[in-house]
Structure 1
Amino acid sequence: MPEELAFTPASELHQRFLRGEISAREIVDAYLERIKQVEPRVKAFLSLCEDRARRQAEELDRSRSAKEPLGPLAGIPVAIKDNLCVKNHPATCASKILANFYPPYDATVVRRLEEAGAIIIGKTNLDEFAMGSSTENSAFHPTANPWDLSRVPGGSSGGSAAAVAAGEVPVALGSDTGGSIRQPAAFCGVVGLKPTYGRVSRYGLIAFASSLDQIGPFGRTVEDCARLLQAIAGPDPQDSTSIPEKVPDYCGGFTGEIKGMRIGVPREYLGEGIAPEVRETVQAMAHRLAEQGAQVEETSLPYTRYALPAYYLVATAEASSNLARYDGVRYGLRVKAKEAKDAMAWTRKEGFGTEVKRRIMLGTYALSAGYYEAYYLKALKVRTLIKRDFDQAFARFDCLLTPTTPTPAFRQGEKLKDPLAMYFTDICTLAVNMAGLPAITVPAGRIEGLPVGVQFIAPPLMEERLFRVAWVVEQIVGFPSWRPPLEVRA
């Protein structure tokens, strides 16, 4: 596959398809060939939907020949994180306990993508049940960072981020519970958006922490992410938490005009634990945005310091409740035993990995009698204070600028034996999920050849504001032209 086609933005690929310069079948075959070339080293995918993708492509080609209306994503291959349901295709959550689960329905986002003309090409790797920050916790294999194969791509949506970065697919979907879209996007040098909680239906997303989970897009460009969100956003009667608000035109704000935009830089996000080079990248970007006419000022979010412990109480408590359904009786792995209680215990022992077991135990403890008020209830009160911090900041600012990660991508195995060090890698992203806010990460520079991202956070339902400022960063940095030093083997 020509490298230039592999790194062609989705919006341009769509236009080439509409003009008849390339067929949908040629696009699918080209990306499947690219996957074959680089996948042995990147390992971004858990499974491919080759037959389904080719059928979709041929149907699109017939529709184009017949001059029938085509959707806004017609001809665009999309990778789907493997905790989202695709009908009659495995949905493993990278866990042995769901290794043989074939959903009987499509997730709402998958259905909406196909209605827009997108082509589902495969399911990507993740940390088991989306619990992790490195995609090393997959039950099947770790994924490598295309910029340096000895390093992690981030997590939990590391497979989706790596697939886009490696040119295996132009866009992808992930899920973000505490930074699981933004952190891997930053590590892999691509754009990643976590939408407002409820902006995108969670129907068909296999739950980790239901009050925090949100589905969002990855892309090589800001426009590609905007186009993907345009297709999947909106209310859904099958998800009671989806917001009944009209979806605006996300692609209409790429004017380059941010003069007068008020941008706050919270000092808590530039303190202890943030690598000096990352801090300098954020400060340099703040200066560049000020040169473009934005009003950039320092601000404070004092309750940010409590986001990490509060998050790991709320998230693990919800995980403990959600994962109770995997009992060896209804579906998934079943280990046989004479007694029902033994079958359940052995199934969960064999089916769940170390990190999932750790979080179930933490969550069960936090919810247990005598500890609920001391831990879980207190964490919910802190969550309210974190949300109040953001509300006060947005009374003064249109958006906030922070690092996305404290460091560039770390080496594989570096943090596996230190859970607290691993959890700290999400320190810049957790509070956004606790407050239900939208946030986007865009590449802003490189440190020793590794991408570094900056994060913009906006008030609820202000995704178009994020796209507007992120697009300006894209023009300043020129990151869509970046290519990882990934040797292609025929």
Structure 2
Amino acid sequence: MTSAAHDDRTADRTADRAADRAADDDLCLRPATELAALVRAREVSARELLEAHLTRIERVDPQVNAIVTLDVEGARAAADAADAALAAGEEVGPLHGLPVAHKDTHATGGMRTTWGSPLHADTVPARDELVVERLRLAGAVRVGKTNVPEFAAGSHTFNTLFGATHNPWRHGLSAGGSSGGAAAALAAGLVPLAEGSDMGGSLRNPAAFCNVVGLRPTPGRVPTWPAAMGWSTLSVQGPMGRTVADVALTLSAIAGPDPRVPISLSDDPAGFAAALPEDLRGLRVAWAPDLGGLVPVDPAIPAVLRGVLPVLESLGATVEEACPDLREADEVFGTLRAWLFEATFGDVVRRSPEQVKAAIRGNASVGAALTGADVARAELAHTRLHERVVRFFDTHDVLLAPTTQVLPFPVEQEYPAEVAGVPQADYLGWMRSCTLVSATGCPALSLPGGFTDDGLPVGLQMVAAPRADRRLLEMAHAVEQATGHGRRRPPL
């Protein structure tokens, strides 16, 4: 063979590999709704879809560190079973054949679940918890687990077992947390859908940092089981996706009542998967750039988000600056969170304090010092807060605010020491744009809201009345379609 012929063949092989990679990447970046339809129509097999994502995980995840446990053979067996079910004409679920990665604080039967803690480095649960089980029954193919901060405490994803998850938009910056691995995996095209949990912003904060969509549903919409404190409304589980429709589709699979969960809501979850309208005419929008003056915000964030407002007005929405009275929300969230941490982690802290990070020890100690009177005051304030929020949504359809108070920060920082020049006393202070909303019990969603001049994503937090999850998804979808910010992909 001549040197020229050899060079031609080498160039042909290189071009073929590049074409294959481009085809795989295109598949990996399509919406989950499109992929579900392709698999159901047998235009793409579940195995082909899985292999495309496994190839991308192998190539991209070393830069991101989003997926910390991977079960290639188990996923291939599940994908092959999904294809066989379709070939046999069996009825299949709404997520049939779609790869999914589960948050590493959610128990997966037969797969390592570490909670980001050295205490559980080798823990393999015997069974799935409810959210994992529901995704499996809906046909999703389990690929692995996504990275979390230790015991999901904090909105920055790092731990001593696996290190930090990097933001796909800029290596070296935080992907947020605690569902940071999930958000980074979605943004990087490693999986088409994911799930997480949210107490103080853990679905919304990483969605904002990574330019994806994260929904904190109304408490009880997605029942959590098993749960140590089944009556608590502070922590919820929910879906994440690259589009609002993907989030709605996933919600249709994981929502719905469960008799073991006392706060679970009885609505039929199938309605969440129905087509979402795009009409904004008559929408009454409240814009709260600093949540009524309660939170400091990096000025770059509202500067970006204000660009959304004229778009909404041009499509028939009315916008005014307004915010419900959230002044008691700090007391509610702080007290009930500390109480929950003592109940959940108090014994662990007392047994193995040296193996639990300082932030968790501190929260549990605050909880241990609470009195009955403290908790009673918080519950009374919680009730007043709920009543004020309900009245607010009598005259407004949606509240818009920044999801985060800061832009993505270096992964070496545990948390921002200051926000807009205001010192932060602890790792919770910079998350108050989300924690104040958590205390209300309202469904809240982070939507891609635009980009700074140097290319960092900014999240728009959308909040609706309690239990108005479907209406929130409709409004978010309409805004998403009008702005198009979620269609932009990171320069990996």
TM-score, structure 1 as length reference: 0.89
Would the aligned equivalents of 1:125 and 1:138 in 2 still touch at CA under 8 Å? no
Provide the rounded CA distance (Å) in 2 between the counterparts of 1:466 and 1:281: 22
**Does the CA contact (< 8 Å) of 2:292 and 2:322 recur in 1?**
no
For residues 238-274 of structure 1, the C-alpha deviation after alignment (integer angstroms, 9 at most, x for no partner) is 2222122333512335221121122222364274511
Q: What does 1:26-425 correspond to in 2, within 5 Å? A: 26-137=48-159, 139-204=161-226, 210-247=232-269, 249-266=271-288, 268-269=290-291, 271=293, 273-302=296-325, 304-326=326-348, 345=350, 347-367=351-371, 372-373=372-373, 375-416=374-415, 418=417, 420=425, 422-425=427-430
Match of 1:446 in 2: 451
Deviations 1:379-437 (A, max 9, x none): 33333333233112111112211111112211223354846363233111112321221
Report the Cα distance in structure 2 between the residues aligned to 1:265 and 1:202, rounded to whole angstroms: 32
Q: Matches of 2:231 and 2:144 in 1, distance apart?
A: 24
How many equivalent residue pairs? 462
SS in structure 2 at match of 1:389: helix
**Aligned in 2, Cα 1:76/1:207: closer, same or farther, shift over 3 Å?**
farther
Counterpart CA distance in 2 for 1:274 and 1:31 is 37
**Matched residue of 2:439: which SS?**
helix
Shift of 1:310: 3.7
Q: Which range moved further: 50-59 or 381-390?
A: 381-390
* Partner AA of 2:319 in structure 1: V
Secondary structure of 1:197's match? coil
Q: Does 1:426 align with 2:410?
A: no
Task: For 1:362 and 1:106, locate their aligned partners in 2 and report how far apart those are by CA, in whole Å.
Answer: 32
The yes-or-no answer on 1:483 pairing with 2:472 is no
Cα distance change, pair 21–92 in 1 and its aligned pair in 2 (3 A): same
Deviation at 1:325, TM superposition (A): 4.8
> C-alpha deviations, 1:150-185, integer Å up to 9, x for none?
110111111111110111111100000111000110
* Contact 2:446–2:460 under 8 Å retained in 1: yes
Residue identity in the other structure for 2:239? P
Task: Report how far residue 309 of structure 1 moved.
Answer: 4.7
Gapped regions of structure 2 (runs ≥ 5): 1-20, 418-423
Which one scores higher on RCO, CA 8 angstroms, separation ≥ 6?
Answer: 1
Between the aligned partners of 2:396 and 2:120, the Cα distance in structure 1 is 44
3-state SS in 1 of match to 2:480: helix
Structure 1 unmatched runs, 5+: 328-344
**Whole-Å separation in 2 of the counterparts to 1:28 and 1:300:** 45
SS in 1 for 2:448: strand
Q: Secondary structure at the match of 2:58?
A: helix
Residue 335 (structure 1) aligns with: none
Report how far residue 140 of structure 1 moved. Answer: 3.1
CA deviation after TM superposition for structure 1 residue 36, in Å: 1.3
**d(CA) in 1 for partners of 2:425 and 2:48?**
46
Give the direction of change, closer, same or farther, for the CA distance of 1:22–1:152 in structure 2 (3 Å limit): same
* Conserved? CA contact 2:118–2:161, under 8 Å: yes
Per-residue deviation, 1:376: 3.7
Change in CA separation of 1:86 and 1:232 when aligned onto 2, cut-off 3 Å: same
Assess, with a 3 A threshold, how the Cα gap between structure 1 residues 270 and 162 changes in structure 2: closer, same or farther. farther
Name the counterpart of 2:476: 470
Residue in structure 2 matched with residue 456 of structure 1 by the alignment: 462
Q: Which moved more, 1:200-209 or 1:420-429?
A: 200-209
Judge conservation of contact 1:253–1:467 (CA < 8 Å) in 2: no
